[in-house]
Every structure is written in structure tokens, then in C-alpha cells.
Amino acid sequence: MCGIFGYVGHRKDAACIVLEGLKSLEYRGYDSWGIAVLPESGKSDGKIIVRKKTGKIGDATADELPAGSIAFGHTRWATHGGVTQANAHPHLDCTGKLALIHNGILENYHEIKPGLKKGGHRFISDTDTETFVHMVEEYSRNRLVSKAMQRAFNEVTGLNAFIILAARDKRLIAARNGSPLVVGYGDNENFIASDASALLPYTRQVHFLEENQMAIVSGAGIMIFDAKTGDLVEPHKQVLTWSIDQTVKGKYPYFMLKEIHEQPGVLAAIAADYTSQAEKLAATIDRSYGTYMVGCGTAAYACMAGSYLFSKIAKRHVNWAIGSEFTYQAEFLTPKSLVIALSQSGETMDTLEAVRKAKEKGASIYAVVNALGSSLYRYADHKMLIGAGPEKGVASTKAFTGKLAHLIMVAYAMEGSVKNGQKVVTAAAKSSQKVLTESSVRQLKELALKFRNVRHMYVIGRGLSYPASLETALKIKEISYIHAEGLAAGELKHGPLALVEKGTACIAFLPNDETYGANLAGAMEMKARGGYIIGASYKPHEIFDTYVHIPDAGEGTIIPNVIFGQMLAYELAVIRGLDPDKPRNLAKSVTVK
Ligand code: G6P
């Protein structure tokens, strides 16, 4: 969940490099941040210097940090211990010669900590993390730091990534079990990070640490070994293909806006380049006896939409579940079952847990994932990259519509005509472009201005527009903090109508499909109780107080519908003075349960 970046090499401005790396990773957590640097020899008695601050890293500079050629840092999304400077990482041992950053939850720290305290170790923070650095301090009294870390790592429980900066031998020593870490190979300099995209300005050659692997990173090289046996392991080097342009905001004020605008291009590329991948997944579904989709948050709504698409286009029942609920429904899985896991990051713990459970039952796993080398990507039996490019806005946008585009193509491939899938996705790309024209966006800005102070909004749809409603409401909630509820229009009369009063904002999705009439009835029910109807449709209707034109794209209309929802949520956030890239209390990749 946290951002991690480390550098060791020939440059003397390691702290600056780490600071820039952390800024590019801030989307992983932004409660607080910290950097540790080992000053050049003789400057600090061999002690590590640490700077920590609460709040976002923003425009921070490395001015207060000394020159040095080894440093690492962390942006935090608090799990254990409040958001305070003391709880921010890195944490030091008693000697000030070992520093630690950590991502995950050290589950058995309370069993270990009392013994360390008794032995004289001083604890400064309320975190579980600090226990680990004192363990390594204790064990390294009579052995190498790497061996001490290996012992400590094998004694703790939970899903974690740890990195120790060891002043004694000027190395970064890392171990992972559950939380992602990637090492990057440079020229007389090497790197470590929680996300490969942060390494792009420096290197494209990487190795993603496997579960229970450790790495010793020094300026001269990187050694990978097995944390259980201590045996050296040959790294599996991969070359990153994403471009740096894809990882920076460019002309846009926020990543979210950039990523929203990238969607037509991503969709067109999926339509053009992914037919054989769609056919491969379609054939795998065909061969399986029962298929289940699983994902969390936005990805879960993509699964839900997939369930409608497979039924409608391929006449197949493909069930779905939210990652954190899946384990309670997985008992019926058999070795013939297929589980399709959808995830932008490939690191969402609830999705990974669901997949592990499915594996226990012998099911095959098909990952549809955006991040190459991610845990889900490596764990799955079959994989398909979403191809949306790096996504940094916390609220997922292009990875969501990318998933939908793939699911449309797969459903058509199952029906026997992937070409029709291509046509639908291409039409969706064109319709999306229209939703993003200046005049359309101006209309959304006006709507945002009108509704910027409301307490509640409702979004209704049927069929494929039901997941579109849920996703639109989620986007509004996540980044504008306005309470929004997505509803199946048919359910209005079973309860939610009681909430509609004069002026209540109601978005209704009315695409050119079998849901039009029934959903219009829902909008009318809201209108009759005073609701203000924002009709997102291919044609106007007299009951709409505001008509938002969404060009028809067949089953693909769910995509421009959601893009309209993303854009409205974005405008609401901006007009309310909020940072849409960093919504409060949330993080992009949730690597804890
Ligand atoms: C977090 C993010 C959401 C995302 C969800 C699943 O909650 O804030 O935007 O939809 O995780 O992420 P994934 O990487 O698995 O798609």
C-alpha cells in the first residue's frame, strides 16, 4: 500500500533521487513520508540521517538532507498507528546505523516486542514496523546484517515487504512476502521500488521479487536469494516497455484528467491489437466447467458488467464476486473451474486472497491485469495484460474501461465473431471521444457548479447501465466526497425513492437498448417526487432537466456512460477544491486485507 524507493550507487544526491522516486509513487499512500540517507564517510559518525513529515510529499525538496550515495524512502498509508511523524517510516534501530521501511502488517509483533524491550531496545513509534528493525539490530550483533534480516524475516508473520538500509556495509537489503518489490539494474547504481513505473527514468531492466525472496542491493550489483534456504537465485530479468511520458502528468493538472482523456486511444488500441488474446480467453472459458470473475472496487464493477456482457452476447452464465467475499462462495469450485481475476495493479490483497483460495480448490486462474510483473500476473496460470499504460490517479479510470473493452471482445469471440467485438469497442472509443469534447466538458462543469454543495446524488440504470451506475456513484464518492448511490432502477420503488426530495440530483442512464423504457419509468418516478433528472442518453426526452448526449455504441455504450460519470466526478472534486488524484483515506493499491 505504501510507496517505496531506494537508491545505491555512484551519485552523491541519493536523497534527491529518492525524493523524486517517492513523488512518482505518492499515489500509493500519502498520509506521511520519510527519507533516510547515509551521509558520505566521516560526516555523521556512520549514523543514518532520517527526515520524516506528515501530510503529502507535494513540493518537498531534499535541501535538509545531506549528500550521500545510499538512501531510501517511503510514503505511508497508515494501517497500524496513527498518522504522526514518529509513526512515519523509515524507523531507526537503537544505534542509528540500521533504518527500516516496511509495507504490510507484521502480525505477531506483539509477541516479539516485549522481549526486545526487556533486552533494552528503545521504541519510539506506535507501529508494528519498529519491532522488525530492533530484531535485525539484535540478530546482527554476531552475524551479517543480511543473515540477521533473513532470520528476522522468517520469524515474523503477515504479508510484508521490508527494506533495511545497513550503514555498516552500505547496502539495501530487502525481503518480500506478499507486498510487491522490484529491483532495477543500472550502471554502477541500482534501485529498489514498490512499483516498476518509478524506475523508468533510470532503468528498464528489472527483476520482480518473488514471494520469500530477498535481495542485497549495492552499487556494484544485486544478489537475489531464497529467504528460507539462503541459496542464491538467478534473477528473472525483464525489460519494461512503458514510456516515461506515460508516467508524468504532461499538460494536465491531474493524473486522473490525463487518464480520462487517454481512454479513447486505449480503447482503439485494444480493438486493434487484442483479438487473438480475446479468442484465447474465450476458448479457455469454453473449455471450463463454470467460470467466475473476481475483483475489488472498480474492478468488481467490471466483473459485474462482464456477467451481463457474457449473458447478452455469448449467452453464457459467467458469475462474479467481490474479492473479499469470494472465499465465502468458493466451496463449489473444482479443478474444472476457471477464475478470471481482474485488477489494475495486480496487487490488491483481497483479489490475491480470492485467487489463492481458488487455487486451493484446484481451479485455473486467468489474470486480466494492467501491471506487468505484478503478483497476480505472476501467480496466474494464464494472463492477459489490459494495455492501458500506467494508471496513477487513485480512482481507476482507463484500466476500468480497458477491462470492459476486453470483456466485450471476449464475449463476441465466444459468440464466434471477435470482429463484431472490435466494431463495438471502436464505436465506444468514438462515442467516448465525443463525451470528452470541450463543449461536453463545459456542460459537465456547469452541472458540477450546480450540484457542488449537495449532500446526496443518485445514479440509476438497468442491465449494463446498472454497473455503470454503481461505478459512477463510486467515482463521485471517492473523489468529491458527495454521498452518491448507484441503483438498479427497478429497486427504486422498493426503498430508495423515500430519499428523493425536491431538487435531488438523479443521473439516469438511458442507452439505446432493451432497458430504455423501464429505466425511463424509473427516472419518471424520481421526477414525480421532485428529482432533478440528468438524462445520459442517445436522444433527448422531455423529462430531462439536463440532457447529456452519449452517442450510441451498442453494448459498448457502458464505456462512454462511465466516462461521463468519471468526468462529472472529476469536475465536482475540482470545484470543491479537492485533489482528485489523492482522495482522503484511500490509496491506489490496497495490499492489506
Ligand atoms: C483501490 C483503488 C480502486 C480500485 C481497487 C481495486 O481501492 O482505490 O480504484 O478499483 O483498489 O484495484 P485493482 O488494482 O485490483 O484494480
Higher pLDDT, 539 or 179: 539
Q: Is 140 in the pocket of ligand 1 (CB under 6 A)?
A: no
| Confidence at residue 249, expressed as pLDDT on a 0 to 100 scale | 87
Q: Is 351 in the pocket of ligand 1 (CB under 6 A)?
A: yes
- Residue 242 clears pLDDT 90, i.e. is over it: no
- On whether the 252-436 domain is CATH 3.30.420.40, my answer is no
pTM, two decimal places: 0.83
- Nine cell digits for residue 319: 458469475
3-240 and 252-436, same CATH topology? no
The residues pairing with 461 across neighbouring beta strands, listed in sequence order, are 488
Who's near 439: CB < 8 A, 6+ residues apart?
A: none
Residue pLDDT, tens place only, 199-237: 999 999 999 999 899 999 999 999 999 999 999 999 999
Question: Is residue 89 classed exposed, middle or buried when 0-12, 13-18 and 19+ CB atoms within 10 A define those classes?
Answer: buried
Q: Is 348 in the pocket of ligand 1 (CB under 6 A)?
A: yes
Give me the chain's average pLDDT, please: 93
- Residue 546 clears pLDDT 70, i.e. is over it: yes
Confirm whether 2 is a catalytic residue: yes
What is the topology classification, in CATH, of domain 437-579?
Answer: Rossmann fold (3.40.50)
pLDDT band at residue 257 under the 50/70/90 scheme: very high
Residue pLDDT, tens place only, 341-378: 999 999 899 999 999 999 999 999 999 999 887 889 98
Domain boundaries, the chain: 3-240, 252-436, 437-579
Query: Within 10 Å of residue 507's Cβ, how many Cβ atoms?
Result: 30
| Confidence at residue 188, expressed as pLDDT on a 0 to 100 scale | 95
Identify the residue whose C-alpha is closest to ligand 1 atom 2: 588
| Confidence at residue 591, expressed as pLDDT on a 0 to 100 scale | 65
Q: What is the dihedral of CA 63, 25, 218, 64, to 10 degrees?
A: 10
| Confidence at residue 127, expressed as pLDDT on a 0 to 100 scale | 87
| Confidence at residue 24, expressed as pLDDT on a 0 to 100 scale | 85
Residue pair 493/525 in contact by the 8 Å Cβ criterion: yes
Residue 49's SS3 state is strand
Which member of 52, 392, 403, 588 is catalytic?
588
pLDDT band at residue 582 under the 50/70/90 scheme: confident
Q: Is 298 in the pocket of ligand 1 (CB under 6 A)?
A: yes
Distance between Cα 173 and ligand 1 center (Å): 29
d(CA 31, CA 24): 15
Average pLDDT over residues 291-303: 97
Residue pLDDT, tens place only, 398-434: 999 999 999 999 999 999 999 999 999 999 999 999 9
What is the topology classification, in CATH, of domain 3-240?
Answer: Glutamine Phosphoribosylpyrophosphate, subunit 1, domain 1 (3.60.20)
Which amino acid appears at position 222 of this protein? Answer: I
d(CA 318, CA 274): 21
Query: Within 10 Å of residue 109's Cβ, how many Cβ atoms?
Result: 20
Which of 48-62, 389-403, 576-590 has the highest average model confidence (pLDDT)? 389-403
**Residue 28 phi, psi (nearest 5):** -85, -10
Kindly state the percentage of the chain with pLDDT values over 70.
98
| Confidence at residue 592, expressed as pLDDT on a 0 to 100 scale | 65
Confirm whether 588 is a catalytic residue: yes
